[in-house]
C-alpha cells in the first residue's frame, strides 16, 4: 500500500511504501541515495563511501532478512530515503513487544518534502499493525535534524551514551529514544 498525498500539476510526486522486493532500478536508487546520505554525514554508520558493490550487497542482504521491514521514500518515483524496523529475535520473548528503528534517512536533494515524517509515520503504523507496542531508536547527537524529527513525533529521550560513535577522530555522544505506540502497555503494572 502506497501513501500518496494528492498531487497538483507541477508539484513533485512523493510517496512512502514498504519495499518487499528489490528491482535492479530500486537497487540503483537505494545505492545512490545511500551514497548521498553518507557524503552528507548521515550514512547510518558509514563514514567513508564504500565501493558500489558493498552498498549493493548491503541492500540485497537487508532485503533477504525476514526480521526486517524496509520502507522507502520516493520523490518523482525515485527512491530517495529509507527506514527499517528490526524485529526482536524469536528467542527474546521478554522484549517481543518492541522493535528498533534504524537506517532512517532522506538524501539531501529530496529533503523539504516531509518524506522523513512520512517514513516515520509508515514505520509506526506498520509496527502497531504487526502487534508491536514500542519503537526504540538511537542517533548521534550531531544529527540535529533527526533529533528534532523524533522529538516532534513524540519520542522520549531516555539517555545519552558519551562514547557512542567516533567521527573524524572525535568521539560523539549518542541519544537513545523510545515511543509507546500502544497505550495499553502503559497500564501494565
Q: Are strands 78-86 and 156-167 parallel, antiparallel or unpaired?
A: unpaired
User: How distant, in Å, are the alpha carbons of 67, 103, 135, 149, 160 from that of 164?
Assistant: 25, 16, 20, 20, 8
Q: Does residue 28 have a pLDDT over 70? A: yes
User: How distant, in Å, are the alpha carbons of 48, 57, 120, 157, 180 from that of 95?
Assistant: 34, 30, 21, 19, 13
Q: Does residue 104 have a pLDDT over 80? A: yes
**Which domains, ranges and CATH numbers included, belong to the chain?**
14-133 (3.40.630.30)
* Per-residue pLDDT reduced to its tens digit, 44-83: 788 889 999 999 999 999 999 999 999 999 999 999 999 9
The order of strands in the sheet holding 78-86 is 14-18, 68-75, 78-86, 98-106, 134-140, 170-180, 156-167
pTM, whole model, 2 decimals?
0.90
Decide if 102 contacts 44 (C-beta within 8 A).
yes
Rounded to 10 deg, the angle between the 24-39 and 52-64 helix axes is 120
Set of cell numbers at residue 60: 540485497
* Per-residue pLDDT reduced to its tens digit, 85-95: 999 999 999 99
Task: Residue 21: count other Cβ atoms within 10 Å of its Cβ.
Answer: 6
* Per-residue pLDDT reduced to its tens digit, 157-179: 999 999 999 988 999 999 999 99
Amino acid at each position: 500500500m502506497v501513501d500518496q498525498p494528492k498531487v497538483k500539476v507541477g508539484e513533485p510526486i512523493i510517496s512512502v511504501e514498504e519495499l518487499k522486493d528489490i528491482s535492479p532500478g530500486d537497487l540503483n536508487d537505494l545505492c545512490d541515495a545511500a551514497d548521498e546520505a553518507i557524503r552528507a554525514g548521515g550514512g547510518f554508520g558509514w563514514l567513508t563511501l564504500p565501493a558500489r558493490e558493498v552498498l549493493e550487497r548491503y541492500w540485497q542482504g537487508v532485503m533477504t532478512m525476514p526480521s526486517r521491514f524496509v520502507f522507502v521514500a520516493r520523490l518523482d518515483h525515485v527512491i530517495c530515503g529509507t527506514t527499517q524496523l528490526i524485529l526482536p529475535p524469536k528467542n527474546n520473548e521478554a522484549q517481543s513487544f518492541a522493535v528498533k528503528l534504524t537506517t532512517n534517512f532522506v538524501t539531501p536533494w529530496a529533503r523539504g518534502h516531509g518524506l522523513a515524517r512520512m517514513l516515520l509515520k509508515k514505520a509506526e503504523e506498520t509496527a502497531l499493525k504487526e502487534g508491536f507496542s514500542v519503537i526504540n531508536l538511537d542517533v548521534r547527537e550531531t544529527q540535529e535534524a533527526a533529533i528534532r524529527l523524533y522529538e516532534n513525533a513524540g519520542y522520549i529521550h531516555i539517555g545519552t551514551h558519551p562514547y557512542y560513535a567516533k567521527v573524524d577522530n572525535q568521539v560523539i555522544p549518542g541519544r537513545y529514544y523510545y515511543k509507546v505506540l500502544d497505550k495499553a502497555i502503559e497500564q501494565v503494572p
